[in-house]
A and B are shown apart, each in its own frame.
Chain A
Amino acid sequence: MSEHINEEMLKSLPDAHGHFGKYGGRFVSETLMAALDELNETYQKLAQDKDFLAEFDRDLSHYVGRPSPLYHAERWSRTVGGAQIYLKREDLNHTGAHKVNNTIGQALLAKYMGKPKVIAETGAGQHGVASATVAARFGLECKVFMGAVDVERQSLNVYRMKLLGAEVEAVQSGSKTLKDALNEALRHWVTHVDDTFYIIGTVAGPHPYPQMVRDFQAVIGREAKQQCIAQTGRLPDALVACVGGGSNAIGLFYPFITDHQVAMYGVEAAGFGVDTGKHSAPLCAGRPGVLHGNRTYLMQDDNGQIIETHSVSAGLDYPGVGPEHAWLKDIGRANYVAITDEEALSAFHKLTQLEGIIPALESSHALAYAEKLAATMRPEQTIVVNLSGRGDKDIHTVAALDGVRV
């Protein structure tokens, strides 16, 4: 049963210590606490500051290219034969994904706080590229931590980051993916905390990151709401977005949380299948625990050790998830489901062929679920899918899976 959430209740979250119900909080070593306090104080002040917000909006319009279109994928919808599917085209943003909404916001914060250096972790490389991009623009020194496995499978993005002037450090520890990049970024931050701003790419991490990143990404949902009403005359019946850490999903969901008639579906990566254990679906198949500064659902073994995840999409290959999603799951406001590598790849090809849009493999998970959901709905109903990124970065992965050399 979904607990009834009103505006007042929603505004009270997170609480002063960053809790969304029992999730979130701040679980870091003592050396970082002062930096997080400083960031939180600055952010809570600037979030009310007209000049800061105006500068952020200006950058979103003129640098990112917002608003991004809401596009009625008519041909694909007809093929599916159910609800009308609309795509929120975050893939058309500058740098090709939703990530830049957040990096613009955090780079502005770094500038206000007088930090000359920024660091970032990245999985697929989209957040790394978005961080390197804003660092170039604001004249900040940028270092990106990326798991060695991801460096391998996302070489194009690695080169893009280097072109933009960032230093990319291939992380060799642990499973050599996103979680290890995050560990290494935290280690670097603790050592260089005086002059370095850590741009976290998702709605996870210690308070205030989950709140701050959500606020920067909520522009997606605010626009989608207006655009949907303008195009269809009413709110959508359902929202669908992929969930790794969960920033594009929370960005779309947040402005709709109190619209109880709008169903929300977060789509995790089932990898080879949730029952194979080789997946990245903590909300569907994990348990609550503490990692990377927050309490949330995690992929962990019986002893509380974090286990290695699998997904064809590097951006979803993460054992945790943002704490606000953990809360939305527990109170029953959002539904969390999982899509396999194979289903995501099939949706990737379908959208490419039917709509002339090459989606990111991450976003393809949302598309694959939207297809299933639409088929159970009526043609006068609408679904908004967050097309969170474009698929250019994944061409090599898809070609390799199809046995094609490019």
Chain B
Amino acid sequence: MSRIQDCFAALSATQRKALIPYITAGDSHPSLTVPLMHGLVKAGADIIELGVPFSDPMADGPVIQLACERALQHGINIRQVLAMVAEFRQTNQSTPVVLMGYLNPIENMGYEAFAQAAAEAGVDGVLTVDLPPEEADSLSTILNTHHIDSIFLLSPTTEEARIAQITKASSGYLYYVSLKGVTGAASLNVSEVAERLSLIRQHTTLPIAVGFGIKDGASAQAISALADGVVVGSALVAQIGAEQENQDVALAKVTAILAEMRHAMDS
């Protein structure tokens, strides 16, 4: 069993849902990332989505765009991101880490070199925002050889034939994008999400995480009633951006938001 499978199995045994925070690696400073990952776990994270910064994050809203810019100002590259995962793994062998980002840095490194280095670092899954399954065969095959899950997005606009195709290409879990928009957008339509998830479940038994538009205990609770996992990104990253001068405060604020979500989801 993979770490991701273990994670969802353990949660399901205790009737709990996965809390999945996203942070951008290297934001606001490279020295914050690993302590923050451990802090997130302590505050109740089940899986960590670690963003690989990219110069042109076209699916992200302003909050994560700025996070990418801050990380890139420190010259963060994909090898350094993998080194952060390896450092995290020195004291945490159980929490799955999923890299989330755009294809070009991976393509630039080379699929095989990337997959090998990611496996060695202890990466469990890869979610490439701008890589639909149609173009993903060769990367997915290589990741699979290295026991890394390929996680794909489903959206409110995904038609049923594509749902079947995407669920077939996916492993680990599925990421349902709750709204038409970029990360950090405001509106969340819970009943529409419910409808879509039940349609998706007709095609797969994989766990489904839901992200985009979840920002506090209430929205996390509402989504966790429907989904197997709740992803929160911009609400956390905004705090990191607001507290660039003081990393301890940033860490405290981010983990406090996450702990509130954990509490709301478990109660």
User: Which of A's residues lie within 8 Å of B, judged by CB?
Assistant: 17, 25-35, 37, 173-174, 179-180, 182-183, 186-187, 190-194, 287, 289-293, 298, 300, 302-307
Partner of A303, one of B58, B78, B103: B78
Q: Given A34-B159, A35-B157, A190-B182, A28–B108 Cβ distance below 8 Å?
A: no
10 further interface pairs, Cβ-Cβ under 8 Å (given A29-B153, A34-B158)? A29-B129, A30-B155, A35-B157, A186-B59, A289-B104, A304-B106, A304-B108, A305-B54, A305-B77, A306-B56
The verdict on B35 contacting chain A, using a C-beta distance below 8 Å, is no
Q: Which residues of B contact A27 (CB under 8 A)?
A: 103, 130-132, 135
Are B104 and A304 neighbours in the complex by a CB distance under 8 Å? Answer: yes
The verdict on B65 contacting chain A, using a C-beta distance below 8 Å, is yes
Partner of A292, one of B58, B153, B177: B58
Are A33 and B58 neighbours in the complex by a CB distance under 8 Å? Answer: no
Q: Which residues of A contact B59 (CB under 8 A)?
A: 29, 186-187, 190
Q: Which residues of B contact A293 (CB under 8 A)?
A: 130
Q: Given A174-B56, A179-B56, A298-B104, A304–B131 Cβ distance below 8 Å?
A: no
The verdict on B134 contacting chain A, using a C-beta distance below 8 Å, is yes
CA distance A186 to B55 in the complex (A): 15
The verdict on B72 contacting chain A, using a C-beta distance below 8 Å, is yes
CA distance A33 to B103 in the complex (A): 16
Are B135 and A31 neighbours in the complex by a CB distance under 8 Å? Answer: no
CA distance A351 to B78 in the complex (A): 48
Per-residue interface assignment for chain B, residues 100 to 118, with 1 indicating a CB less than 8 Å from any chain A CB and 0 otherwise: 0011111111000000000
> Whose C-beta in chain A lies nearest to the C-beta of B57?
A183
Which residues from 126 to 143 on chain B have a C-beta closer than 8 Å to any C-beta of chain A?
Answer: 129-132, 134-135
CA distance A331 to B196 in the complex (A): 45
Are A30 and B78 neighbours in the complex by a CB distance under 8 Å? Answer: no
Partner of B58, one of A187, A191, A300: A187
The verdict on B152 contacting chain A, using a C-beta distance below 8 Å, is yes
Are B185 and A191 neighbours in the complex by a CB distance under 8 Å? Answer: yes
Are A33 and B55 neighbours in the complex by a CB distance under 8 Å? Answer: no
Q: On chain B, which size bracket covers the interface?
A: 35 or more
Are B153 and A303 neighbours in the complex by a CB distance under 8 Å? Answer: no
CA distance A307 to B134 in the complex (A): 27
Question: A290 to nearest B CB, angstroms?
Answer: 5
Are A304 and B109 neighbours in the complex by a CB distance under 8 Å? Answer: yes
Are A290 and B58 neighbours in the complex by a CB distance under 8 Å? Answer: no
- The 4 A-B residue pairs with the shortest CB-CB distance, nearest first, are A304-B108, A303-B77, A304-B105, A30-B153
Which residues from 206 to 256 on chain B have a C-beta closer than 8 Å to any C-beta of chain A?
Answer: none
Q: Which residues of A contact B62 (CB under 8 A)?
A: 173
Are B61 and A289 neighbours in the complex by a CB distance under 8 Å? Answer: no
CA distance A305 to B56 in the complex (A): 8
Q: Which residues of A contact B82 (CB under 8 A)?
A: none
Q: Which residues of A contact B57 (CB under 8 A)?
A: 183
Are A28 and B130 neighbours in the complex by a CB distance under 8 Å? Answer: yes
The verdict on B181 contacting chain A, using a C-beta distance below 8 Å, is yes
CA distance A300 to B132 in the complex (A): 22
> Whose C-beta in chain A lies nearest to the C-beta of B78?
A303
Partner of B132, one of A26, A289, A302: A26
CA distance A293 to B103 in the complex (A): 10
Question: B167 to nearest A CB, angstroms?
Answer: 12
CA distance A278 to B177 in the complex (A): 39
Are A190 and B181 neighbours in the complex by a CB distance under 8 Å? Answer: yes
The verdict on B180 contacting chain A, using a C-beta distance below 8 Å, is yes
Are B157 and A31 neighbours in the complex by a CB distance under 8 Å? Answer: yes
Q: Which residues of B contact A173 (CB under 8 A)?
A: 62, 65
Question: A15 to nearest B CB, angstroms?
Answer: 12
Q: Which residues of A contact B156 (CB under 8 A)?
A: 31
Q: Which residues of A contact B130 (CB under 8 A)?
A: 27-29, 290, 293
Are B159 and A289 neighbours in the complex by a CB distance under 8 Å? Answer: no
Per-residue interface assignment for chain B, residues 158 to 190, with 1 indicating a CB less than 8 Å from any chain A CB and 0 otherwise: 110010001000000000010011100100000
> Whose C-beta in chain B lies nearest to the C-beta of A188?
B182
The verdict on B154 contacting chain A, using a C-beta distance below 8 Å, is yes
Which residues from 76 to 125 on chain B have a C-beta closer than 8 Å to any C-beta of chain A?
Answer: 77-78, 102-109
Question: A303 to nearest B CB, angstroms?
Answer: 4
Are A28 and B107 neighbours in the complex by a CB distance under 8 Å? Answer: no
CA distance A186 to B177 in the complex (A): 16
> Whose C-beta in chain B lies nearest to the C-beta of A35?
B157
Q: Given A31-B156, A190-B59, A306–B104 Cβ distance below 8 Å?
A: yes
Are B103 and A290 neighbours in the complex by a CB distance under 8 Å? Answer: yes
CA distance A307 to B72 in the complex (A): 12
Are B72 and A305 neighbours in the complex by a CB distance under 8 Å? Answer: yes
CA distance A35 to B61 in the complex (A): 20
> Whose C-beta in chain B lies nearest to the C-beta of A184?
B58
Are B180 and A31 neighbours in the complex by a CB distance under 8 Å? Answer: yes
Question: B175 to nearest A CB, angstroms?
Answer: 9
CA distance A302 to B109 in the complex (A): 9
Q: Which residues of A contact B180 (CB under 8 A)?
A: 31, 190-194
Are A290 and B155 neighbours in the complex by a CB distance under 8 Å? Answer: no
CA distance A269 to B62 in the complex (A): 31
